[in-house]
Amino acid sequence: MPPTFAQLGVPESICRALERSGIEKPFEIQSAVIADAMEGRDICGRAPTGSGKTLAFGIPLIANVGQARPRRPRALILSPTRELAEQIASELRSISGPVTVAAVYGGVGYTNQRKQLQRGVDILVACPGRLEDLIDQRAVSLHEADQVVIDEADRMADMGFLPAVRRILDQTADQRQTVMFSATLDSDVAKITRDYQHRPITHEVGDATPDIRSADHRFWTVEKTERVGVCADVISATGPTIVFCRTRHGSDRLARQLTQRGVNAAAIHGGHAQNRRTRTLKEFINGQVEALIATDVAARGIHVDSVACVIHFDPPEDHKAYLHRSGRTARAGETGLVVSLIQNGQHADAKKIQKQLDLNEPITSPRPLEHSAAPARRPKPAHHHEADRADRKPNSNHQNRRSRPDRDNNRDGRRSNSNSQGQRNRSDRQGNGRGGNKSKGRPHGRPHQQTRRKPRSGASSR
């Protein structure tokens, strides 16, 4: 029997807020991490996206965070992408009661972010670039941030953010708790552990790499001129699809071409303003948009459950990119379809990727999608729907803050500077409380037909 949240030491007010969001029993990573994190230990977590890692690090932050002074957040969560930052902030806000949570990222104006920071933000979720800009502008100081989470550290490394992450960590409180989550814990990520974590406890759940075999992989030879048509047919046969293009321009063009063919498609990439990207993602989650046409960078950090299909419209750069892209489908026990559209001259690269991933699929002409290739989805409980939860107002004040036992020798008293604030009971802040989309199994090539789909769930970090 897994422990309950209360048995893991989660304060009652947070347990109640979780219950109101339909979250009753901890997932495996949460059972593993929460008690240690509540006690202030450094944690090195490897968990796949969709495993519930946001709450694994988020619940202890909410339970323990001190009250921030203006421009001096007490806890910091670093995220590689704006979308992930928003998703984390929204998930935490749904259970944070009086604890204030804000997200800062690039692509939007500075004014609102500066105002929020000035009002005081207990838990700041930030992308490294914008955070450094705000630090330069003296809109924020991290010296009182004594709880730090680095989420998706491997992605941060892939995106070249680690130097910025190091500069940022150097500015946080010396006596701090550092929690890191990553899909892999080797190479650059291991160096961050070595340099910035103190005797971390490692918790690993799930396979080291996404289980590529949970999806059905197809490799089709397609003439350049036929790719759009094939793509449209696959989307209408399978349902919610993420299509990967190499360039922003290519994504915009494909979205237009698919729309002309009657597919509700929308591009998402770094060339669009943040509010447009947020809107597009929401529309995809709601089911208004059937196909999200994404560049690799934009798709990092977009974690939407119940994606039926991934199409590699342009080939991935390498096997790692194939894995990342393909991992957008067949999540959390669901099945999914991955289709690679391969033009003449691209066969050798496709075979190389297959070999590196131990996939041995024939490269064929486009085939009808028989029933077994199409995803059979499990119905999701209501709490999985980010769109629902985003609208829910948190209304609890967290009164039961756990006092943490002293840590090991080096760390004893490391929060001493902040204890007057950090251990202040949340009750002194009362009054500030804020208030399967079944596949149709339709053969590829049948006329396109629009269908209404049930909303997909969003918000998971991977």
Tokens representing residue 59 in the block: 């619940």
Tell me if 285 contacts ligand AMP by CB under 6 A.
no
Rounded distance, CA 309 to CA 330, Å? Answer: 8
Tell me if 429 contacts ligand AMP by CB under 6 A.
no
Q: Which of 9, 40, 45, 52 binds ligand AMP (CB under 6 A)?
A: 52
Q: In terms of CB distance, is 53 or 74 closer to ligand AMP? A: 53
Tell me if 40 contacts ligand AMP by CB under 6 A.
no
CA 78 to chain centre: 12
Phi, psi of 267 (to 5 degrees): -85, 150
Cβ-proximal residue to ligand AMP, closest one: 460
The residues with which 69 forms a beta bridge, in sequence order, are: 72
Q: In terms of CB distance, is 239 or 301 closer to ligand AMP? A: 301
Q: Which of 9, 11, 14, 26 binds ligand AMP (CB under 6 A)?
A: 26
* DSSP label of 72: B
- Binders of ligand AMP among 347-406, rule CB under 6 A? 383-384
Phi, psi of 417 (to 5 degrees): -60, -30
CB of 227 to ligand AMP, least distance (A): 32
The residues with which 336 forms a beta bridge, in sequence order, are: 215
AA letter at 137: Q
Question: Which helix H or strand E contains 340, and what residues bound it?
Answer: strand 336-342
Q: Which of 34, 55, 63, 102 binds ligand AMP (CB under 6 A)?
A: 55
CB atoms within 10 A of CB 164: 17
Q: Which of 13, 31, 49, 340 binds ligand AMP (CB under 6 A)?
A: 49
- CB under 6 A: which stretch of 25-33, 172-180, 242-250, 429-437 binds ligand AMP? 25-33
What b/e readout covers 232-241, taking b as 16+ CB neighbours within 10 angstroms? bbbbbbbbbb
- CB under 6 A: which stretch of 18-26, 164-172, 192-200, 335-343 binds ligand AMP? 18-26
AA letter at 290: E
The DSSP line for 231-245 is: HHHHHHHH-SEEEE-
CB of 51 to ligand AMP, least distance (A): 5
The residues with which 181 forms a beta bridge, in sequence order, are: 45
Task: With CB under 6 A as the rule, give the number of residues binding ligand AMP.
Answer: 20
Tell me if 457 contacts ligand AMP by CB under 6 A.
yes
Please, are residues 156 and 184 in contact by the beta-carbon 8 Å criterion?
no
CB of 243 to ligand AMP, least distance (A): 22
Tell me if 80 contacts ligand AMP by CB under 6 A.
no
Tell me if 100 contacts ligand AMP by CB under 6 A.
no
Where do contacts with ligand AMP occur on this chain (CB under 6 A)? 23, 25-27, 30, 49-55, 91, 303, 383-384, 457, 459-461
